[in-house]
A and B are shown apart, each in its own frame.
Chain A
Amino acid sequence: MTPLLELRGVSRRFGAVEALTGVDFEISPGEVMALVGDNGAGKSTLVKVVSGILPIHGGQIRFEGREVALDGPQAAAALGIATVYQDLALCENLDVVGNLFLGRERARGPALDEIAMEREAVELLRRLSVQLPSVRAPVADLSGGQRQSVAVARSMMGSPRLVLLDEPTAALGVAQTRQVLDLIRRLREQGLGVVVISHNLQDVFSVADRISVLRLGRRVATFEVASAREVDVVAAITGAALG
């Protein structure tokens, strides 16, 4: 099967620092790929490259087998690549509907079509089984897990093929983490490719199909979750020799 996204030998420098060196990476539709590594390993740089924020200095990127130039967030969005950053980028003073449709509001003439937006929002949230007190509640009133769910749901608005999640479970409690992991599984059931950056190996093992390990800007290992041992993943992250 052709991978949804394929990186071959991708490099990115910041001045003299090589943040990514010859990185290969691929993800298929309906697959959850975890991206792990220590601080400074290049995880966020890789996500920014794929979401079109950082141009690459070497290598090539293929989307569904075609070579593409991800030269801006719009180019990535046009291909169907959506990114949920760690800060979620939600407007806390707006309600859930307002946030889901931010920048793509439905209008009839000069007036916002609140009813069409609310109906679409309810439908989307139901499809993703996201539980919220009310779609008219301001985001300020939601829990961390609910906010994360709203941010993930918003990334689905443009019918993407690939969703990148940057630390979706950091700063969440146990129950809220489970909600978000369930949501990731539902994205996979819908045939999307999902890339999850995480520091939490327990979450990674519970939700991912494969694990890519980055260390110092290089991809050092890839594991199939079904057959991987946590100690091996930790060893790959830290670069420690196996005893």
Chain B
Amino acid sequence: MVVGLALIWVAFSAANDRFLSAANLTNLMLQIAAVGTIAAGLVPVLLLGEIDLSAGVASGLCAAVMAILHVKLGWGPFPALLAGMVAGTAIGTFHGLWITRLRVPSFVVTLAGLLAWQGALLHVLGSTGTVNLPDSPITGLTGTFFGPAVTWTLASLAVLAHGAALWLERRARGAAGLPLPPWRAPAARLLVTAAAVVAAAGVFTQDRGLPLAVLIFVGLVAAVDLVLRRTRFGRHVLAVGGNAEAARRAGIRVERVRVVVFAAGSTFAAAGGILAASRLLAVNQSSGSGDVLLNAIAAAVIGGTSLFGGRGSAWSALLGALVIGSISNGMDLLALSSSVKLMVTGAVLLVAASIDALGLRGPRPGGAVRPAQRG
């Protein structure tokens, strides 16, 4: 899919030389931050083999909670922001408990949520249907840009941290007498990270600087990645997604893992909704509705997270959001109508999901062979 992204970029830059300009790429990153953050919360849900159809409207509702507390009830920006996130956690916990206690499929529970939270959004927004956000740290989330000094410092720290982690792991393996993989593999990974980070920093510093919203988005994706790959909880998420019955027999509290993942997923949706509100400078009746949910799910899948559960990575949220955002942004630059945009995005999703399905069939011969129990 990285190759696919490169092809999309080459095609759009050939069609319009403004596509690869620093200003447009910075805009692109700002455009995808909200949906990408929602997608980062959906990745663990998809890893469980579940789905959260309410992520889009939950993002809008939580942003509305924040906006109303801040603008109409005079709460400070940070308490209001926190309340919006907590609203997300509450929604996700409710879904998770309903799914695990009453054993209703997540598809149905979150579909009900999609409808009900949409209604709640209309209700809290009241008759005007819009809450405008004044200048505050909330709008500053997407309106703040860091200068070259901060940008390059953060970029170097990111590359250094990645390099140090790879080197320390290799040293520890050596000390433990475990076989060392050829050094080219980690070196190549470090090179790819460094190239991506330096390119991004170069682009941002040529325009307005590194946007805070992008930093938050990428930071959240990295955090999800660390939790999934490096912690006991993340391992349990993958185990439940791979074989829930096996996880249960191994003593993993499967229900608890599910509830926590749904709670975290909706909290990420709230964060995405707040980023979207910050960029729009308002919350309105269409916040979080329309194609927000489908773009977020599509982003995770296009990035390589399987809808069948058990396989995927947090970084798929960034990669997939970049692909979808690039298509949308590029077609806007070419002044193509949304009819074309939707059809192309749909085609890309179909291809990505098919790669997923083929991949599932490929390396798992006999995966479904479970001889019946005999007695």
Contact = CB atoms under 8 A, between A and B. Distances in A.
Interface of A: 19, 39-45, 73, 85-94, 98, 102-105, 107, 110-112, 115-116, 118-119, 122, 138, 140-141, 144, 167, 170-171, 199
A199 to B, nearest CB: 7
Nearest to A144: B366
B371 A141 contact: no
Contacts of A167: 371, 374
B178 A94 contact: no
Contact of A93 (B242, B245, B249, B369): B242
A93 B374 CA distance: 27
B375 A171 contact: no
Contact of A111 (B230, B238, B367, B374): B230
B232 interface: yes
Contacts of A122: 178
Contacts of B72: none
Contact of A91 (B169, B239, B366, B369): B239
Interface string B59-78: 00000000000000000000
Q: Which interface residue of A73, A93, A119, A138 has the most chain B CB atoms within 10 A? A: A93
Interface string B259-299: 00000000000000000000000000000000000000000
Interface of B: 169, 172-173, 176-178, 230-232, 235, 238-239, 241-243, 245-247, 249-252, 310-311, 363-364, 366-367, 369-371, 373-375
A40 B375 CA distance: 5
Contacts of B241: 93
> Chain A interface mostly helix, strand, loop or mixed?
loop
B231 A111 contact: yes
Contacts of B246: 88-91, 102
B369 to A, nearest CB: 7
B373 A98 contact: no
6 contacts: A41-B375, A45-B375, A90-B246, A92-B367, A93-B242, A112-B232
Nearest to A122: B178
Given A112-B230, A170-B371, A91 B251 contact: no
A235 to B, nearest CB: 21
6 residue pairs, one from A and one from B, having the closest CB atoms:
A103-B250, A91-B242, A93-B310, A89-B246, A93-B242, A44-B375
Contacts of B373: 44, 86-87
Nearest to B309: A93
Nearest to B375: A44
B176 A93 contact: no
A92 B243 contact: yes
Contacts of B371: 86, 167, 170-171
B270 to A, nearest CB: 24
